[in-house]
Structure 1
Amino acid sequence: MILQLARLLGRFAVFWGVWWLLTDGRTDGLVFGAAFAAVAAAMPLVIVEPRGTDRPLALLPTVLRGLLLLPFFLWQSLYGGIDVAARAFKPRLPLTPTLFDYRLRLPPGPAPVMLASLVSLMPGTLAIVSGARLRVHVLDAGRDYQDELELLEAQVAWIFGVALQAPRTPAPTRWVSSGPETDA
């Protein structure tokens, strides 16, 4: 009971601190912020895990775990942005856009949607969830994106506290678009 109260007060302090930072410490919004911080801190007590699930209760709320993904996302965005800029300024680099299917291991729900959103935010990519697969558009057909997608999918699974499953679809398909290609 004491541990649960300490966690509740800790979450309240974090959420109220974030509110205080977002409002530049204005005193006229602290009571309003305290009310919302209390509701946000109490949410894990209200949300009940389904019976029979083997996933442990998360120590951090999903939103806070999502913030821990920020350095990974920023690094991948920087890397992708440099790649896109290099292709724009050096026409000798290949530009062979393609579509391919990635077999999802995430269970249906919000986790695959977040994965598609994160992939789409990376420069040079676009993704949608299509059944049990992620359909991904990329700028370079010659590059293998499988490892990067598996790593990002594992990160999303951790954020949502879900276990990755065996892929539910047959082997991935790759379509090469008839985009411009330079051989200089």
Structure 2
Amino acid sequence: MSSWVLAGVLRAVVLGVLWWALSGAGADYLIYGLVSVALATGMSLLLLPPSARRSPRDWPRRLGSSIVLLGWFLGQSVLGGLDVARRALARPVDIDPDVVVAPFALEPGHARQLALALMNLMPGSMVQQVVTADGEPADNTAEGPVLPPAAVQLHTLSPALDPADQWARLQRRVGAAFGD
């Protein structure tokens, strides 16, 4: 079976289940669901073509790593949210904002982009800027980065949160989920 057909079927199933869960599986809207799933599947294949370098034999390991990543992310989000709430309610307020520079462990691509997005969703720290090895901004244009990015500046509520360690652990988990 071609990788395109397999990718299309798997994506259609995932998108169909997602539509079913979000719509309440109402028969009145079935035609909208079929059209939406077909268009979303086609768009996903166009925007993210299947990669021949990924073997279906790797899927169980990648799925397991993705589940571990999701569980870890949710746990970190809850713990981070509780910590932020504790800091905000403490008198005096227990924050000491700081910026910490942490290196990239992931190669440029989807895994790195996911790690950047997830880091911004975790309470207490966020990616302030992507920087070069010299600490200069690695600004992006439509053609890509102007200077090669080497690290991120992480804005944190307190250095005690150790955002560099959290960033390193996040990158390891994302890398495992992507099979890198």
Short-chain TM bin: 0.5 to 0.7
Report deviation, 1:119.
Answer: 1.4
Report deviation, 1:19.
Answer: 1.2
TM normalised by structure 2 equals 0.65
Query: Cα 1:7–1:95, aligned 2, differ >3 Å: closer, same or farther?
Result: closer
1:98-109 counterparts in 2 under 5 A?
Answer: 98-109=98-109
Distance in 2 of aligned mates of 1:86 and 1:119: 20
Report deviation, 1:49.
Answer: 2.5
1:129-168 counterparts in 2 under 5 A?
Answer: 129-130=130-131, 131-159=149-177, 161=178, 163=180
Distance in 1 of aligned mates of 2:123 and 2:111: 21
SS in 2 for 1:134: strand
Alignment correspondent of 1:95: 95
The one-character-per-residue Cα deviations of 1:60-107 (angstroms, maximum 9, x if unpaired) are 8x99x8676433222111111111122222236752221111110111
The percent of aligned pairs where both chains have the same amino acid is: 27
1:11-160 counterparts in 2 under 5 A?
Answer: 11-38=11-38, 40=41, 43=45, 47-49=49-51, 56=55, 59=59, 69-91=69-91, 94-127=94-127, 128-130=129-131, 131-159=149-177
SS in 1 for 2:37: helix
Alignment correspondent of 1:169: none
Instruction: List alignment gaps of at least 5 residues for structure 1.
Output: 164-184
Report deviation, 1:133.
Answer: 0.8
Contact 1:112 1:129 in 2 (8 A): no
| 133-142 or 11-20, larger mean C-alpha shift | 11-20
Contact 2:100 2:163 in 1 (8 A): no
SS in 1 for 2:113: helix
Contact 1:98 1:137 in 2 (8 A): yes
SS in 2 for 1:108: coil
Query: Which amino acid is 1:112 matched to?
Result: R
Query: Which amino acid is 2:130 matched to?
Result: V
SS in 2 for 1:34: helix
Q: Which has the higher helix share?
A: 2
Query: Cα 1:10–1:97, aligned 2, differ >3 Å: closer, same or farther?
Result: closer
- How many residues are matched? 155
TM normalised by structure 1 equals 0.64
Query: Cα 1:78–1:48, aligned 2, differ >3 Å: closer, same or farther?
Result: closer
**Cα RMSD (Å):** 3.7
Contact 1:20 1:30 in 2 (8 A): no
Query: Cα 1:92–1:86, aligned 2, differ >3 Å: closer, same or farther?
Result: same
